[in-house]
């Protein structure tokens, strides 16, 4: 089983709203990732969690706040977003980081529209 699940599938929010994106995997993976993807572009890395600790923040604005409550769950809290933040948000997981051959498995994504 190589399934990563994400909820919700679609989200529309105003610039003053607070919402959260959720990601879950039950593959025993200890590394989890958030990516942002614009149409017809490759995914851009936002955050990396390794063993439930934040290991990479790719200079993401503070209106995006990640959280890893346990080894299976990853959240992305959203607050005061801008219309340009509208994108497909992807979660991925891998067994660990630090090993060169660790394949990342992606979830189906959350399509976010900020009005």
Considering only 14-22, 49-57, 61-69, 74-82, which stretch makes contact with other proteins by CB under 8 A? Answer: 49-57
41 makes contact with other proteins (CB under 8 A)? yes
What's the Cα-to-Cα distance from 80 to each of 19, 22, 29, 65, 93, rounded to whole Å? 10, 18, 31, 11, 27
Considering only 14-22, 41-49, 62-70, 72-80, which stretch makes contact with other proteins by CB under 8 A? Answer: 41-49
56 makes contact with other proteins (CB under 8 A)? yes
The residue within the footprint of other proteins, chosen from 21, 31, 78, 87 (CB under 8 A), is 31
Instruction: Name every residue whose Cβ is closer than 8 Å to that of residue 6 and which is 6 or more positions away in sequence.
Output: 21, 22, 23, 24, 89, 90, 91, 107, 108, 109, 110
The residue within the footprint of other proteins, chosen from 1, 40, 83, 84 (CB under 8 A), is 40
Tell me whether strands 73-79 and 87-94 are parallel, antiparallel or unpaired: unpaired
Q: How far is the CB of 36 from other proteins (least distance, A)?
A: 12
33 makes contact with other proteins (CB under 8 A)? yes
């Amino acid at each position: 089983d190589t399934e990563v699940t994400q909820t919700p599938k679609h989200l529309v929010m105003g610039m003053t709203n607070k919402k959260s994106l959720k990601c879950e995997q039950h593959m025993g993976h200890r590394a989890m990732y958030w990516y942002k993807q614009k149409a017809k572009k490759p995914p851009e890395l936002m955050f990396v969690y390794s063993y439930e600790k934040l290991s990479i923040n790719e200079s993401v604005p503070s209106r995006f706040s990640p959280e890893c409550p346990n080894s299976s769950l990853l959240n992305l809290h959203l607050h005061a977003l801008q219309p340009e933040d509208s994108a497909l948000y992807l979660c991925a997981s891998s067994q660990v980081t630090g090993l060169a051959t660790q394949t990342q498995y992606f979830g189906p994504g959350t399509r976010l529209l900020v009005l």
